[in-house]
Structure 1
Amino acid sequence: MPLKPRHFGGPGFRRLCAVLCLAVASGLAGPAQAVCQLVARSPQPEARVWKASLAPSEIQIRYIGHSTFELTTPQGVRIATDYNDTYRPEFSPTIATMNGAHSTHNSRRPDPEIQHLLYGWNPQGGPIDHDLLVQDVRVRNIQTNIRSWDGDVQRLGNSIFVFEVADLCIAHLGHLHHKLTEEDLMRLGQIDIVFAAIDNSSTLRQESLMQVLQAIQPSLVVPMHFHFHGALPGFLRRAVEAGYLVQQAEDPRFVVSRASLPLKTTVHVMQPEGGNGIFNDP
């Protein structure tokens, strides 16, 4: 598929311009917080060893289940999102991200072979900031609040993790419970692929989620966390009403590059690995 053009003049482009201006104004004193394609590079490009199955511009995405995906970069870095004790990839990931909502989003017994275990919340309280560069991937986070089971607000209990690799920006929204602020959107920057929880119950309601997706303007939306009956069909109806395309994948994995991004926002429905149907609980 042809390269997707940027939305010049749209909110995504304005956010990118604002971030660039902010970086210039600050004298580029630290790493850019929202300009993805400018930073996801190996510090020693002459030492790159590419996996035979992936071109330098490609990344493989595998849906393990619930909200856990395995991302494999061209240099072979494996990333597991919302790593937990129920849904795990076959091999130990190089990087694992976790969130604090409940047990299917974090692990009490993480694999000791994981080189980088990134918490989306601070177990000691307060903020936690990640900005990690491992070979050809950069991982950073943006914290959001969540609701506890009794309805109280737990500040900074969730992180949106952003993965910058192969000239792509991929955002995993985690256990998102509220709409994003303009500051959140500016820190996200231009996002190409979004993993979004669409359960319409324990996370953000679908009406609000659609507003979040329309603000982010990704090329691909990958649904996750659709463990309540009717959640996925309901989300797909809203997506079609919003003008999104829908494609249903038969395989729990796919390879994507910037050149293969669709021109029109597309919902890419993946069947969890080992699942028996995309409309069933993962």
Structure 2
Amino acid sequence: MKLTWYGHACFLIQHGGISILTDPFDSSVGYKVPNVSVDIVTESHQHFDHNAHRLLRGEFQLIREPGEHSFKNLKIRGVETFHDETGGAKRGTNIVFVFEFPDWRIVHLGDLGHVLDQHQVQQIDQPNVLLIPVGGTFTVGPEEAKKVVEQLQPNVVVPMHYRTKYIKFDLRPVEDFLKFFTNVKRLSESSFELTEDVKSQRAAVYVPAI
């Protein structure tokens, strides 16, 4: 399982001959727009910093609706949630995407704006890898993100959607989230591979470079 973080909520997930790009952004966000060809693009919601699939090259399957989807032996489940803590009144809905490979479950929370309810926890189920926003303002902040990690009990946690030297949004830094965890791995590159042995861990936090 290989993951590459392009910044914000955009990841390239590569496994089993399938490539997925999540929540592509445009250049106004502050990061370099990914120059990749992929099989699948998912968009958690239709805001400019998450839906710039038009800037990508090649042909791909675009998924931006909740429900069941599939590609080869990959099952994708979109779970409807909210972009805020007021049932969508401020910023609308958000889709959590669950990528179910035969041997891995990867969950991308998009711009989740609230702690999950029990039904949502059951729909998402326990992931091997949890890609979670932690920067607050537009999503859950560090404290709420910690609660979501406790709800879903992933093996590996990868924080996203936080302030860096590139981004132009008023977000909190990743350090505000990391202080809640003891097993933190700061990586030297934006790409990293995960092997089967990580499935014996609980909430190991990986922080890719950008």
Task: Name the TM-score, length of structure 2 as normaliser.
Answer: 0.84
Partner of 2:115: 179
- Identity over aligned residues, as a percent? 25
Partner of 1:71: 13
1:110 CA drift (Å) = 4.8
Q: Distance in 1 between matches of 2:62 and 2:26?
A: 14
Q: Distance in 1 between matches of 2:198 and 2:11?
A: 20
CA RMSD of aligned residues (A): 2.2
Q: Say whether the 8 Å CA contact 2:41–2:53 is kept in structure 1.
A: no
In structure 2, do the counterparts of structure 1 residues 147 and 185 end up closer, same or farther at CA, with 3 Å as the change threshold? closer
* Aligned equivalent of 1:263, options 186, 198, 201: 201
**Aligned partner of residue 178 in structure 2, secondary structure:** helix
What does residue range 146-225 of structure 1 map to in structure 2 within 5 Å? 146-147=83-84, 152-155=89-92, 157-225=93-161
Q: Which amino acid aligns with 2:152?
A: I
The yes-or-no answer on 1:103 pairing with 2:41 is: no
Q: Distance in 2 between matches of 1:211 and 1:89?
A: 31
**Aligned partner of residue 92 in structure 1, secondary structure:** coil
Q: Which amino acid aligns with 1:129?
A: P
The yes-or-no answer on 1:117 pairing with 2:117 is: no
The yes-or-no answer on 1:137 pairing with 2:78 is: no
In structure 2, do the counterparts of structure 1 residues 89 and 261 end up closer, same or farther at CA, with 3 Å as the change threshold? farther
Structure number with the higher strand fraction is 2
Deviations 1:173-226 (A, max 9, x none): 100101111100111112111001111222112212211110100011001111
Kindly name which structure, 1 or 2, has the bigger radius of gyration based on alpha carbons.
1
Q: Distance in 1 between matches of 2:74 and 2:177?
A: 31
In structure 2, do the counterparts of structure 1 residues 269 and 140 end up closer, same or farther at CA, with 3 Å as the change threshold? same
Q: Distance in 2 between matches of 1:108 and 1:60?
A: 21
Structure 1 runs (4+) deviating above 4 angstroms are none
Q: Which amino acid aligns with 2:190?
A: P
Q: Distance in 2 between matches of 1:112 and 1:229?
A: 30
1:83 CA drift (Å) = 1.9
**Aligned partner of residue 119 in structure 2, secondary structure:** helix
Task: Name the TM-score, length of structure 1 as normaliser.
Answer: 0.64
In structure 2, do the counterparts of structure 1 residues 64 and 264 end up closer, same or farther at CA, with 3 Å as the change threshold? same
1:256 CA drift (Å) = 1.4
Q: Distance in 1 between matches of 2:55 and 2:172?
A: 32
Q: Distance in 2 between matches of 1:166 and 1:91?
A: 24
- Tell me the matched-pair count: 198
Partner of 2:175: 233
Structure 1 unaligned residues grouped into runs of 5+:
1-58, 120-127, 273-282
**Aligned partner of residue 103 in structure 1, secondary structure:** coil
Deviations 1:110-169 (A, max 9, x none): 5463321111xxxxxxxx433222123221110112249xx93454x2100111125111
1:97 CA drift (Å) = 0.6
In structure 2, do the counterparts of structure 1 residues 186 and 147 end up closer, same or farther at CA, with 3 Å as the change threshold? closer
Q: Distance in 1 between matches of 2:184 and 2:179?
A: 10
Partner of 1:56: none
In structure 2, do the counterparts of structure 1 residues 99 and 264 end up closer, same or farther at CA, with 3 Å as the change threshold? closer
Structure 2 unaligned residues grouped into runs of 5+:
164-169
